[in-house]
Amino acid sequence: MKPYLIGVTGNIASGKSVVLQYLENAGALTIDADLIAQDSYLPGNPAWRPILDRFGEDLLRADGQINRSRLGRTVFSDPQALTDLEHIVHPYVFERINALYHSAGTPIVVVEAIKLLETDLANACDEIWTVSAPVEARVQRLIETRGLSEKDARLRVASQSPEEDKICRSQRVISTAGSFQDVYNQVAEHLADILSRNHLKFDYREPWLPLHPEKFNMVLPKLHNAMPNMVALEDIYRLLSRTNLLTDHATIVLFNHHHHLTLLRRSIPFNLEFETKQSILTELNRQASLHQCAALIVNQLWLTKTEAKRLGFEPGDYPLKGSESLIYQEVLRRQGLLPGEVYRKAF
C-alpha cells in the first residue's frame, strides 16, 4: 500500500518547519525540499556546476562551496534569475523526493516545499496543507532566526506570491499566528482525521513512545531539572517544534534527523545503565531506518569507548568523502560539535 502523501507549503518564514517537526514527532516521514535543494549545491553534486555557469564563479567560497546568501540576494531581487535557479535545481529535487517516497516505511509521508503548488509534485499529493502567518510576523522571524536585515527580509517576503493563492488550492490550513500549543493542536487534529479516514496507524514500539499532551505535566519537572528554561507547558510544545522526543516514562530521549543523519541530542537522565543505552540505540536505529538516514551519531560523552565498540560505533573523525563529509560537518556544527567529539554508526 502506498503511503498517504501530504504536501506542506506556505511562504517564507510562515512556520512550515514547525508543522513538519510536529508531523515527524507523530511518526511521519518528512521530506524538506529546501534541504534537498541545498544538498544539490554542494561541490560535485548535480546543481553545483550549472549554478556557477549561470551565476558566476564569484559565488564560490574559499572551501569550494556556493555562497548561498549571495546567491539568495541575487535571485530574490530578479524573477528571471529565480526561475533559472529553479530550472537547475528542481529536477534533482523531484527525483530525490520520488525515491524517498517509494522507499518509505511509514504510512504517511510529508513533503514540504515553498513552490509545491507551482510544480507537478502537487498533483502527486493526496492533500495539500498551507501554513499561514501574518506578513509582519514573517518579517520578524527572518530578522531573528536568519539574521537578515529588515530590508532583505521584506525583499524575500515580497518576492513570493500572496499566501491567499496557496490557501485557495489547499485542503487544510495551519495558522502559526498563535502559540506553539495552538499550532500543535491544529496539526494533531488534522492528522487524527487523516488517520481515521484512511484506517492508518503509526508503528510505535514499546517501551519508547512519543510524548503526548496528557503526559506533559508528568515530564515537565524532569525536563526542568535538565533544562531550567523549561518552566511551562508551552515550553514543551516549543521543544517538540524543533526535536523528536521519545520516552519510556523513566527516560526521555531527544534526537533529530538532519540531512540523512540521525543525531542523538541527549537523554534525560544523562547517565544510564548500558542496557538502557542499548535499548535507546536499538530504537534510534529503527527510527533512522524509517527516515532513510545513512548513519546514527552520538556524543562521546554519552557512550564509553568500550560501549561504542560493542555497539558497532566508530570514531566520528574517521574520514568521509566529498559532499557527504560537508553535510556531516555542517550537521555537527549546528549542534556545536566536532567530528572528534562523537561516535558514528553507518548503515
Top-level CATH class of 209-346?
Answer: alpha beta
Buried b (16+ CB within 10 A) or exposed e, 30-64: bbbbbbbbbbbbbeeebbbebbeeebeeebeeeee
Helix/strand/coil for 132? strand
Q: Which residues contact 203 (CB under 8 A, 6 or more apart)?
A: 27, 106, 107
Query: 7: exposed, middle or buried (C-beta count within 10 Å: 0-12, 13-18, 19+)?
Result: buried
Per-residue pLDDT of the chain in tens (347 residues, 90 and over written 9): 899 999 999 999 999 999 999 999 999 999 999 899 989 999 989 999 999 999 999 999 998 999 998 998 899 889 899 999 999 999 999 999 999 999 999 999 999 998 899 888 999 999 999 999 999 999 999 999 999 999 999 998 998 889 999 999 999 999 999 999 999 999 999 999 999 999 999 999 999 999 999 999 999 999 999 999 999 999 999 999 999 999 999 999 999 999 889 999 999 999 999 999 999 999 999 999 999 999 999 999 999 999 999 999 999 999 887 778 888 998 999 899 999 999 999 98
Predicted confidence at residue 159, as pLDDT, reads 85
Domain ranges within the chain, ordered by starting residue: 4-197, 209-346
Among residues 73, 93, 175, 74, which one has the least CA distance to residue 130? 175
Predicted confidence at residue 66, as pLDDT, reads 96
Task: Tell me the CA distances in angstroms from 309 to 192, 274, 306, one per residue in order.
Answer: 41, 13, 5
Determine contact, residues 247/280, Cβ cutoff 8 Å.
Answer: no
End-to-end CA distance of the chain: 25
DSSP 8-state class, residue 208: B
Per-residue cell: 124:
502527486
Sign, Cα dihedral of 92, 34, 120, 99:
positive
* pTM for this predicted structure: 0.92
Q: Is CATH 3.30.479.10 the classification given to domain 4-197? A: no
